[in-house]
Every structure is written in C-alpha cells, then in structure tokens.
Structure 1
Amino acid sequence: MKINSFFQKASIFFSLFLLLNIFSTELNAQIERVEPPFWWADMETSEIEILFYGKNIAEYSVSTQEEVVINGVVKTENPNYLFVTIETKNLQPQTLHFNFSKKKRVKFTQEYELKKRKENSALREGFSSADVMYLLMPDRFANGNPNNDSVKGLADKLNREAEGGRHGGDIQGIIDHLDYIKDLGATAIWSTPLLEDNEKTHSYHTYAQSDVYKIDPRYGSNEDYQRLAEEMHQRDMKLIMDYVTNHWGAEHWMIKDLPTYDWIHQFPGYANSNYRMETQYDPNASAIDAKYCEKGWFVKSMPDLNQSNPLVVQYLIQNAIWWIEFADLDGFRVDTYSYNDKEGISKWTKAIMDEYPNFNIVGEVWLHNQAQISYWQKDSKIGALQNYNTYLPSVMDFTLHDAMGNIFKEKAGWGSGMQKAYGNFVNDFLYPNPQNLLVFLENHDTGRFNEIYDQDFNSYQLGLTLIATTRGIPQLYYGSEIGMRGDKGKGDGAIRQDFPGGWIGDEQNAFTVSGRTELQENFHSFTKKLLSFRKNSKAIHEGKLTHYLPENNVYVYFRELADDKVMVILNNNEEEQNLDLNRFQENLNGISSGKEVLSGKQLQLKEKLSIAGKTPMVIQL
C-alpha cells in the first residue's frame, strides 16, 4: 500500500509539473510583445488600444480581473495579433491583469501598468519663435560612450571610415556637450531619429526604424533618452523628437509579420513614390499619380505605412503620445509629413494637439511654393478651400531656404539678390501663422551653406542674421557655427561629417576655444553673439515685421513689440552703402540713436547711416 501510495503521489506531482510546464510554456509562447508597454491613468484621452502579440493569440478571449470596461477587441487576418481597447477614464494608477481564456478557462494572465502622470503634463509648452533650434545627427556629433559603438543583434557595426557607416556618436555625446550648445545661444535640440534601425547599411540616419518603442542601443537606452531630456530641462532647453509617420524600416518586427495586409501600402508588394506631393491637393491630378505619390514607398527599404487603416493611425497616435510622456518631450519634427495619407495624418496631429494644446509640431513639407507649403499649416485658408485642416502648428520655410542658396551671390535686380528675401516674406499673407514657421540655412538633407558660399564668412554673417532676426523659429545645423563644409553632390556623408572633437583621439577639438582655428572661431563667436542677443529680444520673438523694398541690394526691416524696436540692415554689396534714414521714419519715428548689437557701437541715426560692404547690422533702438 505504501508503494502504491508513493507512486500515486509521484504521478500526481508529475502531472502537476507537466501542467505547470505547459502553462508556463503557453504563457511564454503567447505574449511576445505588448504595445504600448504601459500607459498613464489620467490622460485626457479616455481610451487606450493595447496591442498583444504572440503565436495564435487571437484564439483567446480577453477579460480583466479589475472592473475595467473593454470597449472593443479587434482580431485581424493574422492570428498573432489582438488589439484590445479599454476605457481609462476615472481609473487610478494601478497594475491591471488581463486574462486570456479558452473554453471559459483562464490559460494565462498578462499584467499591464497604468502609471501616475507627471503633474501638468498636458500643459507642457512646446518650442516657439522664442527658441533657436540646434539640429544634430547623433551618430556624427559626439561619441560619449565607446562601449555601445557596435551592438550584438544589430547588423550595422562601427565603421568610422565609411561615409555611410556608423561612426559611434550617441546620446551621452549630446549630454556631454549640452553646455556648449547652450553657450552658443541655442535653446532647443532637434536630433535626427534615435529609435532602433536594424538596416544592414546606412542605419546611422535612423529613418528606417525597426522598433518604435526602443532607442537604438548604439545610441543608448530609453533611460538615457529620459536623462537627456532631464539634463536639458535643467538648462531651460527643449528636446524635439524627429518622428516618422510615413514609413518604417523593412526590418521592423511588424513588417516581418504584418497585422493586416493593408498595414502598409501594397501594389502588391513594392512600388516607389513619384515624390509629386502636389498631387495631394491638385484638383486636376489623375488618380494614378495621386496614388503613387502618397502610397508609393519612399525607398525600397522603407515600407510605406497606411494611415487610412484605423489600427495604424491609432498605433502611431499612441506611440507618439507615449514618447511625449515617457521622455518629457517639448516638440516633434515630423519627417516627410506631406507624403502621408492626408486624413490620417490630420487625425494623428489633432489627437496630439488635443492632448497637449501648448505643444508644437513642425512638419517637413519640402515644397517650393508658399501657397503649397501653407496648405499644410493649421487653419490654412488654402486648405479650407478643400475643406481640409492638418491641425499642424508649424511648417518649414523651404522657399526661404531655396532663396538662401544664391541671394548672397547675386547683384541687385528686379528679382535677384536681396529682392528674393523680400519676395519671400511678401507672401506671408498665405500662412495662418508665419511666426510659427521654421527658418533655416540648411539641414541634414541639403547642401551645406558654407560649401555653397565657399566658406565665405561675410555671406554666413548675412545669412544667419536674416534667419535669426526675421519672423519664425530659426534652426541651425550642427557645425555651421564653425564654418563646416560639405558637398551634397559627393553624397550624404559629405554633409553629415563628424564634429571635430567629438571622438577620443580627434586631432582637433572645435568644442573649445583653444581647439578652434582662427576662421572657426570667427564663425563661432559671431554665431554666439547674435544668438545670445536673440535669446533675450522680445521684439525678435514676437514683434511685428515691417520691411522695405531693397534698394541697391540693401534690405532693411524692423521688428517691433510695444517700445522694444530692432532695426536690421543687410548690405549685400561689396561696397559700402549710405542709407537715407528719412525713408524709414514710419518705424524710426524720431528715434535718433541705437546700439549696434554685433559691433557693440553706439550709432547716431539722424539723416544718413553708412554700412560696410557685405555686412549685417542689428540695431537695438
């Protein structure tokens, strides 16, 4: 009897062991990913749609142990996905428990955390015309942690000799040089994307993302990104995330196991975009041209997301909000904004701005006509002609950038030289909010300004003064402040060079005064002086712009806010010019003196004023 009892107990124990093992195996097999990985209890948005991913997970029914309302469960043609929408209104911070059942028996449980939201998170202030935005490419800026230069499991390894290789710059490198950026006069940083990109080559630009809830380990961790924001906020600086709504990388885990066939645009399979963004609003466009613009892939390694699919747009909305909350962000720059499905990207933008009414988002709308660019800004009268509103607060002033490429090479003419600058601002009536335009000399996709002008310091002074003192939000590309060159015709690597001094062993350290050449220091000291003045000038931040028709290639304009007045003069001639100040009395209004900010000189402003050739003046009246 004792022997039988022993075997009975052993059999029961073994059966329990098998059941537990099966249970454990089933649990591990079923839940491979949960996205968003967690949420917050007191969001303005009252719902959250949680993606559960695992082998054949759609075979299970879902319930919660808590009193939580499940508003919907979506199963797709791929049984590895479940999209579960819950009501979060009035829920307190807690850990929820989702039960996954078969035949009314719970097979496994998944925890899900609702965190406490940061106080006043919804009221965060985005970037504005009071800011100067510093654009950097993290892989090419500074290497603060050489230990993460190459990472197991990610294909593209360190190769600093290759223009398209990974050079090792990272989040720690940015943190290490925040004081440099702040001292320069910049108040915000726009970093090109930092999320994981597991392409085999050219992954350093990080626009072909393979996991949109994870910082690329070669840049650091999610916690490093949080720390970057914290360090910046301690310095009264703002962090802007480069967000990609239009496409992911071919290595993205969801692309390899699509939730739905129409999660991406298929023809079937791949077809390239024709890049003709005009077809998005052209009333005469053929259907096939419009289709290939918006639905065509940007490049073959970047599958095009279908924002007309409600699951896709909701996923993107939640991912964007998750990063704002998690990393305490101050803004987005949205890549290839005008390539998205118009209605889908409008819904995405509105959802974010509803959650954060003081936030700011600038969209890349790379067009060459003010009417077409203005179509994409919030409350556009041109968009309204087609009953369309993007809700996008800011767009990029590409027409000004286009003009910048030759303004300072040209003589006076009806439509040349400084007349091109004047002509750009003439069309500000097209924009609902010209003060919320991003103005720039260059960025990571364009030719370097100092290459176009052969590192001519005078042209740089004129160009930077214009974007720093006109309406809008000025953006500076890393390295411009030391005269960095780069020929776009030689490939993207040429315009995305390493910042000298960002790597141990660099022969030169241009982050320091002693490490800069005389020419580099000229560029740097001018940039710092101008941006430092701008930082405290309310007239430049918010003031009315009044400009005068250029005469003899000299452009004069004023920025005014109550009694705060600034006069800007740009002499685009090689020769000295004498201005008749009587012409500007509607703004001078009897003012007879002022301080020229760049030279520090006190000026008498009576009847005549001389200005040296190829020189800017910024006069605090």
Structure 2
Amino acid sequence: MKKLLFLLLTTTFAFAQIDRVEPPFWYANMNLSEVQIMFYGKNIAQNEVSVSNGVVIKNIQKTENPNYLFVTVDTKNIPAQDLLFSFSKNKKVTFTQKYSLKSRRENSRFRKGFDSSDMIYLLMPDRFANGNPNNDSTQETIEKANRTNKDGRHGGDIEGIIKNLDYIKSLGTTALWPTPLCEDNDEKGSYHTYGQSDVYKIDSRFGTNEDYVRLSAELHQRGMKNIMDYVTNHWGYQHWMMNDLPTYDWIHQFPGFAQTNYRMTSQFDQNASKTDAQICMDGWFVKSMPDLNQSNPLVLNYLIQNAIWWIEYADLDGFRVDTYSYCDKKGIAAWTKAITDEYPHFNIVGEVWMHDQAQMAYWQKDSKIGAIQSYNSNLPSVMDFTLHDAINGGVFNENKASWDKGIIKVYENFTNDFLYPNTNNILVFAENHDTNRFNQIYQGDFKKYQMAMSLVATIRGIPQLYYGSEIGMKGDKNVGDGDIRRDFPGGWKGDSNNAFSNEGRTKEQQQFFDFTAKLFNWRKGKSVIHNGKTTHYVPENNVYTYFRYNDAESVMVIINNSDEKQDLAVARFKENTQHYSTGKDVISGQSINIKNNITIEAKSALILELK
C-alpha cells in the first residue's frame, strides 16, 4: 500500500514538475541515434537524471534558465520500447517521466521525395475548404473565425483538403504543398501561419496532429506526396518559449527587436560590410516573428529533430522551407545535411527569393558558385524566381518584341541554366501565395494562361500550380494579401458557386479547368519532360520554340507571344526535326505536318509530340 501511495504521489508530482517534453517521443533504429530531449518545468534543472533499460545518457546540458534541461541519449541498437527517466534530488527519486521509442515505418529511411516527375499543387488551408465547421474557432486559440474579414480566419481545414483530394488529383497533381499547418496563435492574420506558436502541434482550427497523419495517408493511397511547409528562420511572438527562453541567445537580440534589411546579397557579397551581413541574417523578418539563432547548437539541434520527427510521424515526402536564405548560413546548411543524411532520397526546396540566377544557384547543393567561398548549402532544390519575374512581370502582355521585351525574357532565363548544379530539381511557377495572381495580371485572358501553363508544364524542373488558377481565380496583391488568398468557391457550405464539381463550375471556370487537367495529366507520363534534354532557339517575331528530347522521344513546344498569327519555317529547327514528319498536338489531338511551315495562332501555344 505504501509503495502504491508513493507511485501515485510521484506521478502527480511529475505532472506538476514537467510541463513539456520535446520531441514528445522518438524512433528506434534512426541513423540519428542520439536524440537531445528537452524537459521543461519549474526549476527542473535542479534535478539529477537517469534513464532505464541500459540506455546511455551522453550529455546533460543546463542553461541559464533553470526551467530547462537538455538530456542527450544514445538509442543505437535500442529496440522500440518505453523508457523511464528518473529525476532525483539528494540521491532520492522525486519523479519520473515515461518516454517512448516508437517503431519506424518499413523502409522509412529510403522514402522517395518529390522530383521533376511531379506537379505540386500549392494551397492555403484556411482558404481552400471548410470540412469541419466545428473547429472554425477554438477555445485555445485567440483569433476566431470571421469570413467577412479578408485578412481573418475563414475556417478552411485539413478535413476540407481531404474531402477534395480527388479534385486535386484530377488536375494531374502528384504532390500537395499546403502552407504551414502548425499552430499560429497571433491575435490577427494567423491564417498565414508562418508565425508559429507551437511547432509540434497542428493548429486546432485546422484539426489535430492525427488529422495531419490521415492527410498523408489519404494522399499516399492516391499515389500522391505530402510536402510540409517548414519555417527554420523564425517563430511567432506568441510561441510558448518567448515568455521563458531557454537561453538569451535562443533568438537574435539587439537587445530585443531589429528588422532585417532583406539584402540577401550580403550573404555572399565579398565587399559587404559585416554590419549589413549580420542585420540581414540576424534581423527579424517582421516584428511579430522573432528570429531564431541557428548558430546556437541547442536551437539548431531542436530544429533538426523537429523536422525529422515530423517526417517520421506524418510520413512526409518533402519540405518547402520558408525564407531559407535568411537563416544562419552554416546553421541552415547543417540542418539540411542532417535531414538528407537521414533520408538520402528526401527532397527539400528552399525559398530563395532573389532576382539573379547566379545568386539563386549559389544556394543549390554542390553549387560551383558557392564553392568559390567554400560554401555548400546542401539544399537540393531552389525556386526559379527569375522565371516568375518574367511571367508575373507581364511578359505575355508584351505583344511586340524588341531586344529586351517580349518572350525573349523567358528565353534569357534559361540561357543561365549552366549556373545551376541540377536544373531538373528547380521549382518552376507562375505565381504563389505571396505574389500577384496570374489571372489578375492578365485579366483572366485564357490564351495567356494557356501560354504560361504550357511553358511551366514543359520546361526543366518541377512545376507548381497555385490553387484556384485552374478555374481562372483572380486576386490583387495591391488590395492586400488577403485578396490573393481568396476562398476557393464551393469550399464552404452555402457557396453559390461550387468549382469543385463539373456541374458547379461556370463556363469560364470549366474552360480553365479542362485545359489544366489535360495538360498536367499528360505530363505525368512523360519522362522526356521530367528529365529529358533541352534545345531552345532564339525567339523570332516574339515566338519561342524549344525541344525536350531523349533517346526515345521528342516534344516540340512553340509559344507565340505575338498578337499576330505566325508561320514558322521548320527548316530552322532541322537539328531537332530532321527525323520527324508530324507532330501530335497534346491538347487538341490534331496531327500537324512539320516538314515545311507550321502556322500558329496569335497568343497561343503548341505542344507537339513528334512522330
């Protein structure tokens, strides 16, 4: 009886003493066998620690804050089981804490990430579909749902995504990128979710951790991949640690707040002042987003383990990393390497929002440009922002070509491909959740949408489609970010227009949808597009022609950016056409003779499978 009473008392005390354990559990048989467990509770560092079952404690680290204790254990050759940590004072156990080592999924280490065979569908969960109205507002979060506020919470959630996965797949989508789903407890604008308040917890307005695991399972059942939007650079100011930091330098302090200068060029500019380079890297992105210090080993290890934990727990297929180039350069390279060491075939694409190919190529793994400064980011994939600059900058409105106007801008983008270590692993896109809507810039002009999507679908790299573009959705960034993140029509009960179904779409929406679905479903089976070679020709009369080819097949793409019908003399392209006589238009199915001239309508694109 006395023993039972003692156990009850110590168990109760354990709950009082330990407020958080992170990671909440770990996995057996990891390549990263040493895990640093953070125990958090009032004056917990006053205790001595031991662990059961022959597990070796490699290190116990205390900080200036007595409420934290970082305990590193070696799990090598330790099977999946529950461990028991004992916390003692004066050689007497005062409380214990169970900690689980779980079994990994079979072949988890060799999971295949997204690649150039994929098409990624980007959506903002709060604005896509409301599958569970009961979680629109929750007691534990500050901001409540208000669909009338374009910058507020609208109620979209994980359940809404799951209910519409068949729609997403019908577009030819093979990978899903939702913007961050972890808790963001800001009092306003929290739908954005890049200012996270708990990186081990799905925001309750989106659902639960279990819902997120279910989303992955539902995607995998459909042969699709799950890409997590991960933030290494900063958290939100409502993050639970902000009121009780483990160390003063867990975040960058000046002291307190100083904003970044956003001059990412200072990270490799050999003439940059140390002051400019530091404020770029260490300054806060905005005042509500404390900047994490990846040069602090505790912070770096925390971020590495959190990322790996999510991969294992939610069975992820990739990361898109926000504000990648604002992080500590050495720290983010170590973070990326730790993940790809654990998962050799996992893919990570970093947001490197720059406007010069050499500057973006610097950040891709094994860059010769980075090597000049003995730097390797280890980042497999970057985003083609210079192509986006041309598309989003209005290139398809430039009907008359000049030396530097018109479709030549697109051609010039690819002339710099020699700078990249791996052009197949570049994310290509016309727009995303931070840019103006394509269909706003081009005023819903279907022909211009056809040209842009034909380009994105057939060039080297990994195409990304932003939700709603496939039905002609507009949105003006000049009005505000909320306008480029409008609700998907039909995602809410009572919506008058349901674009998720054929019968619910308008004639215009159906036109956009049919073209998009046909194009990207065709692309799914085309290895010549996924990893074929490219030959392109200097545009003439605002017409850009290029070929994707391998040993087995060849595809000819013609984009007429002119406002006039054009006749192309095929003889100019004989090095790519001499073995072919016809081309099948992948959209119309029409066969076109390519022995002489090819006529292409104004403001249009042709994708021809050569025969």
Q: Could you say which residue in structure 2 is the equivalent of 1:4?
A: none
Q: Could you say which residue in structure 2 is the equivalent of 1:93?
A: 80
Q: Which has the larger radius of gyration?
A: 1
Q: Deviations along 1:382-425, whole A, 9 cap, x unmatched?
A: 10010000000000000000011221111211111110011000
Q: Could you say which residue in structure 2 is the equivalent of 1:182?
A: 169
- Which one-letter code corresponds to 1:236 in the other structure? G
The change in CA–CA distance for 1:114 and 1:24 in structure 2 (over 3 A counts) is: closer
Return the match for 1:228 from 215, 222, 226.
Answer: 215
- Which one-letter code corresponds to 1:491 in the other structure? G
Structure 1: distance between partners of 2:607 and 2:440: 25
8 Å Cα contact 1:250/1:256 also seen in 2? no
Return the match for 2:20 from 6, 14, 33.
Answer: 33
8 Å Cα contact 1:33/1:53 also seen in 2? yes
Q: Give matches, 1:17-416, under 5 Å.
A: 23-404=10-391, 405-410=393-398, 411-416=400-405
Q: Deviations along 1:35-78, whole A, 9 cap, x unmatched?
A: 00111111111210000111000000111122011110000000
Structure 1: distance between partners of 2:487 and 2:155: 10
Structure 1: distance between partners of 2:546 and 2:243: 55
Q: Could you say which residue in structure 1 is the equivalent of 2:489?
A: 500
8 Å Cα contact 1:406/1:417 also seen in 2? no
8 Å Cα contact 1:333/1:362 also seen in 2? yes
Instruction: Please give the root-mean-square deviation of Cα atoms over the aligned residues, in Å.
Output: 1.3
Structure 2: distance between partners of 1:180 and 1:46: 40
Cα deviation, residue 590, structure 1: 2.6
Cα deviation, residue 22, structure 1: 5.9
Q: Secondary structure at the match of 1:489?
A: coil
Cα deviation, residue 28, structure 1: 2.0
Cα deviation, residue 20, structure 1: 7.0
Matched, 1:459 2:448: yes
Q: Which moved more, 1:283-292 or 1:393-402?
A: 283-292
Matched, 1:561 2:536: no
Q: Secondary structure at the match of 2:229?
A: strand
Structure 1: distance between partners of 2:482 and 2:96: 49
Structure 2 residue runs of 5 or longer lacking an equivalent are none
TM-score, scaled relative to structure 1 = 0.97
Cα deviation, residue 21, structure 1: 7.5
- Which one-letter code corresponds to 1:609 in the other structure? I
8 Å Cα contact 2:119/2:174 also seen in 1? yes
Structure 2: distance between partners of 1:283 and 1:163: 43
Structure 2: distance between partners of 1:93 and 1:102: 29
Cα deviation, residue 16, structure 1: 10
Return the match for 2:574 from 558, 564, 585.
Answer: 585
Structure 1: distance between partners of 2:30 and 2:52: 22
- Which one-letter code corresponds to 2:556 in the other structure? M
- Which one-letter code corresponds to 1:564 in the other structure? E
Residue identity (%):
64
Structure 2: distance between partners of 1:41 and 1:563: 45
Cα deviation, residue 589, structure 1: 2.3
Structure 1: distance between partners of 2:505 and 2:564: 30
Structure 1: distance between partners of 2:305 and 2:14: 26
TM-score, scaled relative to structure 2 = 0.98
Structure 1: distance between partners of 2:571 and 2:186: 62
Structure 1 residue runs of 5 or longer lacking an equivalent are 1-11
Q: Secondary structure at the match of 2:138?
A: coil
Q: Deviations along 1:586-605, whole A, 9 cap, x unmatched?
A: 11123101211111101111
8 Å Cα contact 1:439/1:474 also seen in 2? yes
8 Å Cα contact 1:538/1:564 also seen in 2? no
Structure 1: distance between partners of 2:15 and 2:162: 38
Q: Secondary structure at the match of 1:587?
A: helix
Q: Secondary structure at the match of 2:83?
A: strand
Cα deviation, residue 24, structure 1: 4.7
Q: Deviations along 1:253-297, whole A, 9 cap, x unmatched?
A: 111210000000000011111111111111111111111111111
Q: Could you say which residue in structure 1 is the equivalent of 2:423?
A: 434
- Which one-letter code corresponds to 2:594 in the other structure? L
The change in CA–CA distance for 1:20 and 1:360 in structure 2 (over 3 A counts) is: closer
Q: Give matches, 1:532-571, under 5 Å.
A: 532-571=521-560
Q: Deviations along 1:358-396, whole A, 9 cap, x unmatched?
A: 000000000000000001000001100100000000000
The change in CA–CA distance for 1:239 and 1:273 in structure 2 (over 3 A counts) is: same
Structure 1: distance between partners of 2:479 and 2:394: 20
- Which one-letter code corresponds to 1:456 in the other structure? D
- Which one-letter code corresponds to 2:127 in the other structure? R
Q: Which moved more, 1:520-529 or 1:469-478?
A: 520-529
Q: Deviations along 1:7-41, whole A, 9 cap, x unmatched?
A: xxxxx98x997x77764553222111110011111
Q: Could you say which residue in structure 1 is the equivalent of 2:477?
A: 488
Return the match for 1:604 from 570, 593, 605.
Answer: 593
Number of matched residues? 608
8 Å Cα contact 1:374/1:431 also seen in 2? yes
Q: Could you say which residue in structure 2 is the equivalent of 1:5?
A: none
Matched, 1:472 2:454: no
